[in-house]
Amino acid sequence: MSSEPVSHEHLKERAEAILQRAVLFRQEEAPAWGEQIERTGEIPSGLWERMRNLGFRRLTLPQWAGGEGLPLEMYFPILEEMSHNHGSIRMIFHVSNSIWRTIAKGSEEQQKYWLPRVANGDAVVAFALTEPDNGTGIDLQTTAVYENGKFVLNGRKHLITFAHEADVTVVIAKTDASLGRYGLTAFLVPRGRDGMKLEPMPEMMGDKGCSHAIVTFDQCVVSEEEVLGSVGQGFEIALRGFLDQSRASIAQSAVGLAQEAQDRALDFVRRRTTFGKPLSSRQAVQMRLADMATLTQAARLLCLDAARKFDAGLDIAREAAMAKGFAIRMVREVTDGALALYGGVGYAVNSPVERLYRDARSLWFEEGTLEMQNMTVAESLLSDARKRDRQQRQTAATIVD
């Protein structure tokens, strides 16, 4: 599964060309797609196809599979640009360029079968981790029991994005309750498998058109060949294989959405006049704009730090959680600020900032809440502190000897 290596300079040129393509798409096509989605409440099949034809659904996939092979540092500016658009457009873009990484942790046969299909836009992958009555870790209740050379899945997942559109779903289930995080296993479950049922969830506040499903497994049989990675690797595949880089990507998405809200607000206060003076001349308005710009740039730099470390092969659990946690607060402040600067007209449905305000709230929950991000950061800090204590004790013991 190798291809001729592409130089860093050539990758940069490709990334820049794709970024310009994304800019044109935002300016010339995305508004009409967004209006159609808001009006119908559905993502038209033509949008999936258009984003495929523009090459937007294969940017991070490996080149041997037909992808562009962009590292996160080059991909993130394009993701930011696409996040100026309607939330469902951003979601197609993000899901296409992120969830495939779970399959990259699988066998060579699994990768060779699925990744070229994903890169070509012929397959959509869903990720089923979250459960309605449990968290997203070792308390999962979906089980996979090994019987006669196969696994039998039972349980329920919810809030599974694009499950209805997915050709295959990566499912995290418990195979051994006594092993904690090492008792979780990932499975590849193709569409239409007996014992797998999908139910639509209620319409969400934002990201109109983006489908979410409840996925129920009732004596759903999967083979040993459909284990992703190896038995007991589910936690590693879920976090290191997907969630860490996806959290950083969600943070970068928040940056793009916030920048759009900021741009709209800046344009408005320069045009709006009260008491004979433009709003932009008022110090209170200027201070709010400055705060919005500073918060957005700070989140952008946190994302860049996480991207560079990920590209270098480092563990970014802490950096991704910091970026996502900060971005949640940032996008709240910026979209609140944009709405306040618009005043009452901003609160009207279909105002330039009303949809942004709604779409921003989905970013609070994708890949974990603010509290979850803070817990990840705190656990990392405490783990490093314990490690330093052990090293100091070992050093002291060595000196004494």
Q: CA 315 to CA 116: how far, in whole Å?
A: 27
E-state strands within 24-121: none
Exposed / middle / buried, residue 81 (Cβ in 10 Å: 0-12, 13-18, 19+): buried
Q: Which residue shows structure tokens 């809440």?
A: 369
Distance of alpha carbon 151 from alpha carbon 171, whole angstroms? 12
Inter-helix orientation angle 244-271/72-82, to 10°: 40
For residue 331, what are its two tokens? 């996008």
Q: Pick from 90, 97, 88: which is nearest to 61 by CA?
A: 97
Catalytic residue among 38, 224, 367, 371: 367
Which uninterrupted H or E stretch holds 267? Answer: helix 244-271
Q: Give the closest residue to 83 by CA, choosing from 242, 209, 250.
A: 250
Residue 367 annotated in active site: yes
Residue 165, token pair as written in the block: 């559109």
First to last CA, the chain: 51
Taking the CB of residue 58, how many other CB atoms lie within 10 A of it? Answer: 25
> Residue 1, SS3?
coil
16 Cα distance to chain centroid: 22
Sign of CA dihedral 189, 224, 317, 132: positive
Positions annotated as catalytic residues are 367
